[in-house]
Copies of this chain bind each other. A is one copy, B any other.
Amino acid sequence: MVKIAIDVMGSDLGPKELLKGVRQFKEKYPNVELFVVGKLDEIEEAKDIATLVEASDVMGMEDGALEVMRKKNTSMLKAVELVKEGKCDGVVSAGSTGAFLTASTIRLKLIEGISRAALISPFPRYDGKAVTILDIGANNENTPHQIYQFAVMGALYSSKILNAHKPKLYLLSNGSEEKKGSPLIKEAHQLLKEHNFPNFMGNIEARDVLTSEADVVVTGGFEGNILLKSIEGTASMMNSMIKNAFKKSAISKIGYLFAKSGFDEMREKLDYRRYGGAMLVGLNNVVVKAHGSSNAYAFFNAIRVAKEMVEQDVISLLKEELKNGIKEEN
């Protein structure tokens, strides 16, 4: 039976909202055993669907590595430790990314040969398929070799989890030509090319990420975060504009009634929440980071992602693949 540790504290909307997602998950997947970690009075309502684990402290949304060392009794750390102790197979949190990365790396350790974990997530592509992007923000600085390892992890995720056949892999750059890019990206490009990385198609510009045939887009964590957040920001701004356009007059409101079904479909297509959380790949266990502003539905999906990762045994596959990749590398 799959067992998931869930930290329900430290998110924007609070534990009440996240626990709704936990309940929805349990209703849909009664066979998954859940461990909910948090302040007892805030998690008590989940006692009929999960084992409750008390934690007296909460990691702040802006907490980083330092706070992980200092705050020994946070729900986040306790949730990670449930995995470390073998009581759970994976862990989910909507708390601070930096703290979650540090806590997981310290407690669960990186897979042998991996020098940095990365945040990986699928994004809705224009054609309805998904493009897997990493690193979307676990790192501030990367080496070409780390980018290469991200490529290995991204390709595996795309083929095993999203069932992409021979996933086409691109490197995010400021131009599609080989010679374009930051020093890091130019070197990473050469590394991927020299090793004949399977289906490496070259560089891709940010404007084409969602509309091309790319199955995997690899990037350093800083640029990846900017990519992710400008997509989110632009989409959310345009959604507000669409709402306003329909609200403009009594006549436009009638227009909405007529056009509603097409727009519902579009919203559904673009809804990042159906992808749930981003996985921290490169660690010895399944670690899923839900969006800090997750609602119940997004959190439900984050737990679902963790469950799928465990069931697909994606960590063992990664270890195997990386062993081969690293052999090639040396």
Contacts and interface: CB of A to CB of B under 8 A. Distances in A.
Given A255-B257, A256-B255, A258-B255, A210 B226 contact: no
Interface string A133-171: 000010011000000000000000000000000000000
A249 interface: yes
A35 B35 CA distance: 73
Contacts of A223: 222-223, 226
Contacts of A245: 259, 262-263, 265-266
Interface in A221-235: 221-223, 225-235
A141 B62 CA distance: 28
A207 B233 contact: yes
A233 B261 contact: no
**Residue of A234, A256, A265 ringed by the most chain B CB atoms within 10 A:** A234
A207 B225 CA distance: 10
A179 interface: yes
A230 B209 contact: yes
Nearest to A238: B238
Given A140-B183, A206-B233, A259 B259 contact: yes
Interface in A201-243: 205-211, 221-223, 225-238, 240-242
Contacts of A265: 245, 248
A262 B237 contact: no
Given A126-B240, A137-B174, A241-B266, A233 B259 contact: no
Interface of A: 62, 64, 126, 137, 140-141, 172, 174-175, 177, 179-183, 185, 205-211, 221-223, 225-238, 240-242, 244-249, 251-252, 254-263, 265-266, 269-270
12 contacts: A140-B174, A181-B222, A206-B229, A207-B230, A207-B233, A210-B234, A238-B270, A242-B266, A246-B259, A248-B259, A254-B255, A255-B256
Q: Lowest 9 CB-CB distances: which A-B pairs, in order?
A: A255-B258, A255-B259, A245-B262, A207-B233, A206-B229, A248-B262, A234-B234, A207-B229, A174-B225
